[in-house]
A = this chain, B = another copy of it.
């Protein structure tokens, strides 16, 4: 159609490339996650933040088990594959032996808040100098969309198709509220990838978490809310809106703890909200 602009090749007029397909630390863009899944976006912010803090060649990831695990073959990063829920302990042992390397875990809500809740809390309480990245979609995506320990009241999942009900299913755990107050936690923030601004802010959060680790200040965590249209049984296009309305109303975004200080109100990480790609 003549109204459209060609998008199959770089522009002919003089132009600067301001955004590349892939982050530096990503090998390929091709993956098997569902259409509209938010997890690849979370992984993008993570990989970009590593480069941001200059640790491109000095970082190791410890990976949990969930849909995002399939993305690890795309990652240009030294990795240790953990068992479901156990990544923070592996990161602890690894970081203790290689204190100059940047260590992060990549875990889902099923991995971190259900199967491995104890691991992350103890790691935080000990003040281990590692960064945990929690991808929270409120479901076990990988097994078909079941409720997890973070699924918010009212959320649709395979076993709460009418929405999670407190009396029947119990209450969700707010991971920030639980982890931020611990003595060993130096940085805690929750971001989202349901819109571009959220993605840009999340990247700044992850960057700050890494800076915390590099200063040796102790445990840092960034939770990232992601869409799972498959596990929520909704059309892909409705994912971002559903996340914003349902998940985010309970799991509020912002910084919860910074430089070891608990913030009374979740704060936006400083930086330029308008220049999305910085």
Contact = CB atoms under 8 A, between A and B. Distances in A.
Contact of A125 (B127, B173, B181): B173
Interface string A108-152: 000000101110011001111000000000000000000001000
Nearest to A117: B118
A177 interface: yes
Contacts of A127: 166-167, 170-171
A184 interface: yes
A71 interface: no
Contacts of A171: 125-127, 182-184
By secondary structure, the A interface counts as: loop
B125 A121 contact: no
B184 A121 contact: no
Contacts of A183: 166, 170-172
Given A166-B183, A183-B166, A172 B125 contact: yes
A264 to B, nearest CB: 13
A13 interface: no
Nearest to A178: B178
Interface size class of A (residues with CB under 8 A): 20 to 34
Given A121-B173, A125-B172, 18 more contacts: A114-B122, A117-B117, A117-B121, A118-B121, A121-B121, A121-B178, A125-B149, A125-B171, A126-B169, A126-B170, A127-B170, A127-B171, A128-B170, A166-B183, A170-B184, A171-B184, A178-B178, A178-B181
21 contacts: A114-B122, A117-B118, A117-B121, A117-B122, A118-B121, A122-B149, A125-B149, A125-B170, A126-B169, A126-B170, A126-B171, A127-B166, A127-B167, A127-B170, A127-B171, A128-B170, A166-B183, A170-B184, A171-B182, A173-B182, A178-B178
